[in-house]
Amino acid sequence: MKINFTLDYHTQWGEKILIKINATLKNETTVIEKYLDYNTEKSCSTTLELPKNSVVTYKYYLVNENLNINKGEYGAKRMLSLNFKEDDSILLKDVWQTQEYQTPLNSCAFTDSILKQSSNEQNKRHNDEIDLNVKNRSSKKNSSIKKNESSINDNKVSTVTVKTFIPYLLPSQDLLICGNSGELGEWNPDNAILMKRDNQNNRYASLFLVSGVDYEYKFIIRNNEKIEWEKGENRVIKINSSFNIQIIQSSLPNFYCRERKFAGLSVPVFSLKSESDYGIGEFTDLIKLVDFCKEIGMSFIQILPINDTTITQTWLDSYPYKANSTFALHPIYINLGKAGRLSDADKMKVYRREGDYLNSIENIDYEAVSNLKWRYLHDLFDEKGNETLKLTDFKNFFNQNKDWLVDYAAFSYLRDQNQTADFEWWKELSNYNKEKVNELTDVNSLHYRDICFYYFVQYHLYKQLSQVHDYSKKNGVAIKGDIPIGICSQSADVWSNPGLFKRNSQAGAPPDLFSQNGQNWGFPTYNWSEMSKDNYKWWKNRFKNMSLFFDAYRIDHILGFFRIWEIPSKNILGIGGHFSPALPYSNEEIKNYGFCEDVLWFTKPHLRYDEIVSIFGDKTSFVIDTFLENMGDGWFDFNSTYDTEAEIENFFIGQCNEDTRIVREKLLMTINDFLFIKDPIQNEKYHPRISAFDTFSFKRLNQQQKESYTNLYNDFFYKRHNLFWAEVALKKLPALINSTNMLVCGEDLGMIPDCVPEVMKKLDILSLDIERMPKEFGVEFGDVEKYDKYSVCTTSTHDMSTLREWWNEDKDKIQRYYNQVLKKDGKAPSVCDEHLCKEILNRNLHSPSILAIFPIQDWLSVRQDLCNENPAKERINEPSNARHYWRYRMKISIENLYKDRNLKQQLKQMIIESKRNV
């Protein structure tokens, strides 16, 4: 089948256009790469023979004079199904897709959910238009044909499909095409042609046009009876008589710019409360939340990670960012009743009574809830497991997910059998062996039924969350998930894919507003070089799996894709880490900055006696006798027994009084009193230690040495790595985010290199803006009016205090905010009442950000009878506390939230006034 690819694009001298094509027929794919020939300086083309009935995807690339690809088009690959006749000849006349074609509105969050017309409504309008057009065409011929009836037989009739992309239409709006012929409606909007929508969010209309005639047209937006014509000159179609099928891509319609903005709420699933829960929020609670959001005009529900975190089987598993699998869902979120009821009525009453009690208490009793659900699921599996495993639906689920599901089930079984998730302590299979795992999980294995229990649980979880996602899409509410940057070292992923992770180090974050000593998350860091060998298959599968349940996602700590804060495995705090990858200094470079001291001396903590006294006071003798060694000349070093943070931490295990806690914290900081960190791979190179200016090592330097160190420090952390880290991120991120069509948002808070905003913009990743955590250096509060339109605006995150608690934290800062930002006179109120909360929410709602997604606690603060009397109890997480208990629950149930007409009206009005309603 002959196909001509023609592209309108103005190339410079030496540049060429390359087309890359995949033609798939019966599961066999042919890959074609070909340069286009020049027609004019603004147009080039090539003609190829491709197999009939194949599915073709293709994309154009600009190649420089050295035959290196400069750039590719924005957006997804174009798609064409060649279900034409064998002797058809096809012309594809394309326009280069600029960044405008890859707006957030082109993601599935909008195309498949928020801005999607219901199929019934869409089909009805299409059918009505078809009937109307048939009548028009039967009553009058194409005007161009009427004018040339004598030569009609000399002109070829072609099927012409006009195609364009318009991402900002609302479900109630239609795009039409109208022009100068009878076929195009003769400039009468009543006779215009309705454009349909394909599965790539393009609008198209198919026409029968004659060669030799210039057809002029414009696009029209119709909303009920209201008509808006496209601005600018008429578009022109000239039929190429060599092709009987022609598909013409028009550039973006030229209407008055419509900046669509949307609102949403964020809430952890565990924080939801419904009348039928068992003491914790469940996946099915999201259905009721969708109803609430739809009624008030909200478009997004954002949640925290929902993967299985069952590791210790204690409340420590409440930490949602420490999953034991990046694919398995957490059993604690299952709706037990929908999974199946037990036939024993007395047993059901006992479970229900226990669940009602857990549902009545203020916070989550994580261990009790988890214990109840595991017991119930085991009982349910004993009763209904065999029946479920025979279902066709279950078999389909298993076959689609077995690549991760079998390893996860084996890991979970071995964890429970060995009573630890730390596989290094397992008697067998401490080192993953695929053959032995297959034996363990084989249908003839003695343990097969025990393994199947975990299949059974995941089947019900996947089924329930899929139903939630289907419901949310049908109701125009997008669900936004969360991709943690890390994975637990005691996880099925690390166990079964050890080569993808570096277990001799830990991921975390450098010191920031969340934590002065940095954060140590305890996750292994990634072996990116190994991951790149299969083009990041593990990551791609992870993203694709998320797309089963979500329309958008937040990349937790997106900076980790540029560089991760890597902490030695024997460290407890985050402050002794370094960036990886990085460009550490050589001795020569450090000397060139004028820092001529012995670098090795500054890689270890050395203390003077008076410094020890100033830190430890009356505990000085105890500290010296136990942890330090006198090196002579008044110098003290940590002795060999306690020269790592882990050894110091072990000393204090079981000692819980306040004095020992303070000594422990001071020792952990003091052992980090140095200026340089040796690179773990390049031993002769060094990283400046973060926040080193507060150390005694820095304070002892003379003025010239302080200036030299300050210069090399600032260059290292703020200039040296910009291009390097941009290249690092651009090697990874495009492959990952292009694996799905979900909307991508990045959590870009903290110590942000200059290259990050540029890369995020290049990849169309929405940034995060928080008024009280501005990104501009030296600025105390962000200017909400200057936020980038492609950003997510929020008032708080799960790692921060809510608005009401923040108001109580720093009264001087609040006073400045009250006077300078809110422009109010006098003393700031002692509490952030509902009027102030509403004013702050409204400020953020009116920002230019495309998304304004606020924590549900902040939304509810407009009615403080719905809030906890103590704002601190609404805090979700304390990042500085590695053992924080994640247990916040809403005060009000979702059922009562939905029934509260006053609240719904208030929030709806705020969303309408800020023009964030769909």
DSSP string, 837-904: HHHHHHHHHTSS-SEEEEEHHHHHTTSGGGS-SSGGGG----TT-TT-------SS-HHHHHH-HHHH
Rounded CA gap, 688 and 695, in Å? 12
Q: Decide: residue 174, CB within 10 A, 0-12 exposed, 13-18 middle, 19+ buried.
A: buried
Helix (H) or strand (E) holding 325: none
Is the bond preceding residue 581 a cis peptide, omega within 30 degrees? Answer: yes
Which range among 247-261, 415-429, 738-752 shows the weakest confidence by mean pLDDT? Answer: 247-261
- Name the residue with tokens 């450090």: 590
Q: Decide: residue 505, CB within 10 A, 0-12 exposed, 13-18 middle, 19+ buried.
A: buried
Q: What is the pTM assigned to this prediction?
A: 0.88
| CB neighbours of residue 628 within 10 Å | 21
Residues 155-173, mean pLDDT to the nearest whole number: 86
pLDDT at 154 over 70: no
Rounded CA gap, 62 and 320, in Å? 44
**What tokens were used for 232?**
């600018």
Rounded CA gap, 450 and 446, in Å? 9
Angle at 721 between CA 716 and CA 727, to 5 degrees: 170
pLDDT at 128 over 80: no
pLDDT at 647 over 70: yes
Rounded CA gap, 733 and 509, in Å? 20
Residues 115-122, mean pLDDT to the nearest whole number: 58
pLDDT at 906 over 90: yes
Rounded CA gap, 671 and 697, in Å? 11
pLDDT at 119 over 80: no
At 42-62, the pLDDT tens digits run 899 999 999 888 999 999 999
CB-based contacts of 183-191 (< 8 A; 24+ apart in sequence): 183/137, 183/142, 183/207, 183/208, 183/209, 183/215, 184/215, 184/217, 185/136, 186/143, 189/220, 189/222, 189/227, 191/132, 191/133, 191/136
The shares of helix, strand and coil residues in the chain, as percent rounded to the nearest 5, are 40, 20, 40
- Band (620; pLDDT cuts 50, 70, 90): very high
What pLDDT was estimated at residue 85? Answer: 84
Residues 639-664, mean pLDDT to the nearest whole number: 92
Q: Are 508 and 574 in contact (CB under 8 A)?
A: yes
Residues 6+ apart with CB under 8 A from 681: none
Percent of the chain with pLDDT over 70: 95
Residues 814-826, mean pLDDT to the nearest whole number: 97
- Band (82; pLDDT cuts 50, 70, 90): confident
Percent of the chain with pLDDT over 90: 77
Q: Are 211 and 239 in contact (CB under 8 A)?
A: yes
Measured torsion, CA atoms of residues 439, 442, 445, 451, in degrees rounded to the nearest 10: 110
Q: 566 - beta bridge partners?
A: 507, 578
Q: Across 747-761, 771-785, 895-909, which has the greatest mean pLDDT?
A: 895-909
Q: Are 62 and 69 in contact (CB under 8 A)?
A: yes
pLDDT at 475 over 60: yes
Which range among 72-86, 663-677, 786-800 shows the weakest confidence by mean pLDDT? Answer: 72-86
- Band (166; pLDDT cuts 50, 70, 90): confident
More confident residue, 598 or 479: 479
Rounded CA gap, 818 and 812, in Å? 10
**What tokens were used for 269?**
């699933």
What pLDDT was estimated at residue 117? Answer: 63
More confident residue, 712 or 135: 712
Residues 488-512, mean pLDDT to the nearest whole number: 93
Residues 159-187, mean pLDDT to the nearest whole number: 90
- Band (530; pLDDT cuts 50, 70, 90): very high
Rounded CA gap, 563 and 725, in Å? 7
Residues 226-238, mean pLDDT to the nearest whole number: 93
**What tokens were used for 551?**
């329309």
Which range among 432-441, 455-464, 500-509 shows the weakest confidence by mean pLDDT? Answer: 500-509
More confident residue, 148 or 339: 339
What pLDDT was estimated at residue 648? Answer: 96
Closest CA to 319 of 468, 484, 480: 484
pLDDT at 121 over 70: no
For the chain, the distance separating the N- and C-terminal CA atoms, rounded to the nearest angstrom, is 44
Q: Buried b / exposed e across 405-415, counting CB within 10 Å, b at 16+?
A: bbbbbbbbbbb
Rounded CA gap, 23 and 61, in Å? 18
What pLDDT was estimated at residue 124? Answer: 53
What average pLDDT does the chain have?
A: 91
- Band (280; pLDDT cuts 50, 70, 90): very high
At 856-904, the pLDDT tens digits run 999 999 999 999 999 999 999 998 788 899 999 999 999 999 999 999 9
Residues 342-346, mean pLDDT to the nearest whole number: 96
Rounded CA gap, 105 and 103, in Å? 5
How long, in residues, is the chain?
918
Which DSSP symbol is given to 673?
Answer: -
Strand order in the sheet with 300-302: 743-746, 552-555, 478-483, 300-302, 262-266, 851-855, 791-794, 767-770
Rounded CA gap, 309 and 488, in Å? 8
Residues 6+ apart with CB under 8 A from 909: none
Residues 848-857, mean pLDDT to the nearest whole number: 97
Measured torsion, CA atoms of residues 534, 535, 536, 542, in degrees rounded to the nearest 10: -100
Rounded to whole angstroms, the maximal C-alpha distance in the chain is: 112
